[in-house]
Structure 1
Amino acid sequence: MNQKISKIFKQSGVIPYRVQNDNIEILLITTRDCNNWVIPKGGIAKGMSPPASAAKEAWEEAGIIGQVDVNPVGSYRYRKRGKIYQVQMYLLLVEVLTEDYPEAGQRQREWLDVNIAIQMVKQNSLKKILHEFLQLKSNSCLPFVNTQSSL
């Protein structure tokens, strides 16, 4: 009896957000082939915690720096080239947006109202996490930290 056991590859990613004029905005990036809008994510770097690795991916893929909340907000799975990936998601309040970053020439990025961002991503489980983020932030008694309008 030869049964193939699927390995699940662990990744971490961020939901990069800011508040502009009391509206929550999410920064989406394109996949390298520019076919889909996604969030920064990637494999967990050796010797790094999942939140720290997610912050590293955010810098490399989107040119953003900010505070990563170490409490995960959810996870989702996806399949790519026959492999299964499990992505643990964290919130990242964007403090710095740079023009010069490792994957600047390979991806587009765009700030979007969170409701539009939910419509733009294709992954249903990621849509659900973004929707839960919107509910959490809309119902939160905690004040948002407003970021500079230049972001």
Structure 2
Amino acid sequence: MPGKTKAVRVQHGALPYRIGPDGAIEILLVTSRETRRWIIPKGWPIKGLKPSKSAAREAYEEAGVRGAIGSKAIGSFVYDKWLLEGVSVPCEVGVFPLKVERQHKTWPERHERETRWCSPEEALDLLDDPGLRDVVAGFVARLEARKAAE
């Protein structure tokens, strides 16, 4: 219907990463609960928490990781979120970098999702969403440029 657009819902996501002993960047991906596609931890805003803190909470609940979360989003992407009623709504996910300091052995959704540490190249291959791939690729390029300048 021309002129009719659905309101975009907002979610907050974390891009968990670490620097390996060899200096290589590693990205942590999780699977979605329903389709088992590789994604980043993300979810609805949590009342009383800033967007970055909401993203950090999702990273703990979905992947068992804690660390230093960036206060500014490194980018965003839009995807179609399927709701229980069988309808989809467009969601814009603001993505915050999370430098992982600890990965717990147990966490709330450990039996519902898989997690995988991978190289940036592998992460980009595993991610289906082009917008999310762009955010990850841009972040990795900035991190590598910063490392090269040190």
Q: Same fold (TM over 0.5)?
A: yes
Task: Determine if contact 1:34/1:107 at 8 Å carries over to the other structure.
Answer: no
**What stretches of structure 2 of length at least 5 have no aligned partner?**
83-87
Amino acid of the structure 1 residue aligned with 2:57: K
- Aligned-pair identity (%): 33
Answering whether residue 136 of structure 2 is matched by residue 130 of structure 1, we say yes
Please name the residue that 2:104 is paired with: 98
1:120 maps onto 2:126 in alignment: yes
**What is the total number of aligned residue pairs between the two structures?**
144
**Distance in 1 (alpha carbons) for counterparts of 2:9 and 2:148:** 34
User: Aligned letter for 1:66?
Assistant: G
SS state of the match for residue 106, structure 1? Answer: coil
Q: RMSD of aligned C-alpha atoms? A: 2.0
Cα distance in 1 for residues equivalent to 2:126 and 2:145: 23
| Kept in 2: contact 1:13–1:39 (CA 8 A) | yes
Partner SS for 1:116: helix
Secondary structure of 2:143 counterpart: helix
Q: How does 1:54-93 map to 2 (within 5 A)?
A: 54-81=55-82, 82-93=88-99
Q: Tell me the TM-score normalised to structure 1 length.
A: 0.89
Q: CA deviation at 1:34?
A: 5.3
* Residue 107 (structure 1) aligns with: 113
Partner of residue 36, structure 1: 37
Q: State the match for 2:53 in structure 1.
A: 52
Structure 1 gaps of 5+ residues are 145-151
Partner residue in 2 for 1:15? 15
Alpha-carbon separation, structure 2, partners of 1:60 and 1:143: 35
After superposition, the C-alpha distances for 1:32-69 in whole angstroms (9 at most, x for unaligned) are 13520000000111111100100010010000000001
Looking at structure 1, the residues matched to 116 and 35 of structure 2 have their Cα atoms a distance apart, in angstroms, of 12
